Amino acid sequence: MILTSFFKALAQLPDPRFRRVLLLGIGLTVALLAGTYAALLWVIQSFAAGGLSLPFMGEVSWLGDLLSWGSFGLMILLSVFLMVPVASAMTSLFLDDVAQAVEDEHYPSLPSVPRANFWEGLRDTVNFLGVLIGANILAFALYALLPIFALPIFFALNGYLLGREYFQLAAMRRIGRAEAKILRKKHGGKIWVAGCLMAMPLTIPLVNLIIPILGAATFTHLFHRLN
């Protein structure tokens, strides 16, 4: 069931609507990360604009430049870990388009549903983004304490989060928030396994950028099979 849903989603990747969501998700992700870096840089430069006076060293005017370069390195490091969670959250904002493309292709007899309210979708996206980033930052402590289990922890955590959110969003389109939650809890094991399947390629550069699209499509298929 899970693999069938995944391969159906994979086969539909050339769909122009999938490409549109992919480009939008990547574009918004890059813009968000760039904006975050610009804000951080502004704070650092404002803090060190007049230079600092240190004991035994006197006036230090180059500290702002040092902190700026350090912040650039920090953002590059964080982007490696945060790009996928942020891209996943951004893609969830456009999940309705992916789900509609899947249903048009594979479930044409289904009645049409109204598009999700943009502001509700934005709220869900922001919540999802916060949970994803917060959970992955906290997981760094586990990675440091249990480095040998870092990959299994990463797969299990992100598999749970991706599966939970994408299935909920796919199901809400058809049966509403409350019923979607009931169905998700009823099939929690299958949804977690499917989420782990999505999480595994997250460690592969470039490939990981298409995972949010595949996840949205896969869980749309999975919902229709489980419902």
Residue count of the chain, please give it.
Answer: 227
- pLDDT surpasses 60 at 227: yes
For the record, the structure tokens of 94 come out as: 């456009």
Using a cut of 0.85, tell me whether the model's pTM lies above it: no
Which tens digit of pLDDT belongs to each residue from 100-145?
889 888 988 888 877 766 676 667 767 777 777 777 778 778 877 8
State the amino acid at position 156 in one-letter form: A
Which tens digit of pLDDT belongs to each residue from 148-172?
888 888 888 888 888 888 898 888 8
- pLDDT surpasses 70 at 196: yes
For the record, the structure tokens of 57 come out as: 């060293």
Label residue 83 by pLDDT band (50, 70, 90).
low
